[in-house]
Amino acid sequence: MTAAGAPETAIAWRDALRRGEISAREAVAHFLARIEDRAELGAFLTVTAEHARAAAAAADARFAATPRSERGGLPRLHGLPTAVKDLVEVAGAATTRGSAALRHPVAASDAPGVAVLRAAGAIPLGKTQVPELGLTGYSENAIAPPARNPLDPTRTPGGSSGGSAAAIAADLIPVGPGTDGGGSIRIPALACGLVGLKPGLGAVPGDFGSAAAPSVHDEFGAPRLTVSGPLARSAADAAMLYDAQRGAAAEPALAAVRAADSLTGLRIACTEASPFASAYPIAIGPEARRAAETARDRLARRGHRLEAADFVYDPGYPDAFTTSWTAGLSRLPLAASAEERLMPLTRAFRTRAVARSDAAHARAGARLREFAADVREQWGAYDAVLTPGLTMLPPRIGAFTSLDADDDYRLQCEWAPFTSMVNVSGLPAIAVPVLRLPTGHAMGVQIIGRVGGEHRLLQLAAQLAAE
């Protein structure tokens, strides 16, 4: 099997594997070769080739032992290669969390989301690059070369799922899971020209309810921010993986995408308002604005009603979000000798978090709960909300880390000012590429949905891509 003859989509890979046209061992070998060929992208921290080959051999043995008439009952993602960002445990692989200051234990078992995908037949090929502790919207750390954007390797692919996004955009894996606590699926998707779905809180069963995430609020009472979702090159591929992440018996999200042409008549708000505007100058670049205008035109041609909306956000949001986002660092167990090995931004924000009282963290959490209730009411007057994606092209590698901690954080907020508010709200949102610029860079938009609106968001993404 050659690269020229390989399937072009994750669904095509899945279908070829389930029909036996390609063996799991062939699929794994193909993508391991791709990873080796594009090592300069820094997408992977660890490649677990032997584990993947063993899993592929087992998948092929299962296929051979299954009568042809029963192969429809094979796991839905039978033999499909993927990868997992290195904030998440994969059995037999070290978990670095992108940090030189922490130990890198080898996981004895899979995290719940990985276990669900493995049960669905997916084969992890390794662990992808992340920023330290997943804190930033770029994927650079002190333990490995930075992840680079396949559309322009001088620029960041975003973060914290940046390694996974780079791997998918460069065809090192066909599709992959990410996690999103402030934009960590959507930012890399927008930077790399991918579709990235941040489901609503609780839509993916493994995201909370465990000892690590027992409720919809964190220990300080702030809304729980992080959820799991798919990164993919198309809405259909994203829907296929989302169905698997949810452990769905059928494929309702994929069925919805295939019926996307029937969706019409939605009332969609259009806004450039950001809650970070009270703290930072939010300047939407011409490429970002053109992408938003293009999206509006395409959706209007589909029969949707696009309306300008004047949303008003709490001016205290930037401080409350930053406080809550970094509050967990006050609980980070760290030897004094290890602190100097933290990245400068992590070290600065941890120092501040440790200095704050639990009461201060709780006040920030309470303010975010109020913010969540307010925006859910404002956005709830519409079927969906359309915002720009990123305000400008992805910054160059080193642009963030060359700054002090506060300016690093400021640049992140100015580049991606529309994502974190959706995590606070608990609602679903999707990042969709809309334009490919003459330079090769991608620009896209974000669409925010209602509770339970993930399928509708995937349909809207499919409509945007089909134009």
- Mean pLDDT to the nearest integer, 285-294: 98
Q: What percent of the chain lies above the pLDDT cut of 90? A: 96
Q: Catalytic annotation on 127?
A: no
Q: Catalytic annotation on 69?
A: no
Give me the sheet containing 123-128, strands edge to edge.
44-47, 123-128, 81-85
Q: What is the mean pLDDT of the chain?
A: 97
- Taking the C-alpha atoms of residue 178 and residue 207, their distance in angstroms, rounded to an integer, is 12
Query: Rounded to the nearest 5 degrees, what angle is found at the Cα of 238, between the Cα atoms of 237 and 240?
Result: 65
Is the predicted pLDDT of residue 1 greater than 50, yes or no?
no
Q: Are 33 and 2 in contact (CB under 8 A)?
A: no
Secondary structure (3-state) at 151: coil
Residue 212: the pLDDT is: 62
Which residues contact residue 205 at a Cβ distance below 8 angstroms, ignoring those fewer than 6 apart? 112, 116, 246, 247
- Say what the pTM is: 0.98
- Mean pLDDT to the nearest integer, 205-229: 87
Q: Catalytic annotation on 234?
A: no
Residue 208: the pLDDT is: 76
* Phi/psi at 168 (5° precision): -70, -45
Single out the catalytic residue among 184, 324, 420, 425: 184
Number of H helices and E strands in the chain, helices first, is 16, 11
pLDDT band at 184 (very low <50, low <70, confident <90, very high): very high
Single out the catalytic residue among 23, 99, 139, 160: 160
Residue 336: the pLDDT is: 86
Nearest to 463 by CA among 447, 452, 451, 450: 447
CATH code given to domain 10-466: 3.90.1300.10
Secondary structure (3-state) at 132: helix
Single out the catalytic residue among 23, 85, 127, 139: 85
Which residues contact residue 67 at a Cβ distance below 8 angstroms, ignoring those fewer than 6 apart? none
Domain boundaries along the sequence of the chain: 10-466
Alpha-carbon distances, residue 180 vs 32, 268, 431 (angstroms): 26, 24, 12
Residue 210: the pLDDT is: 63
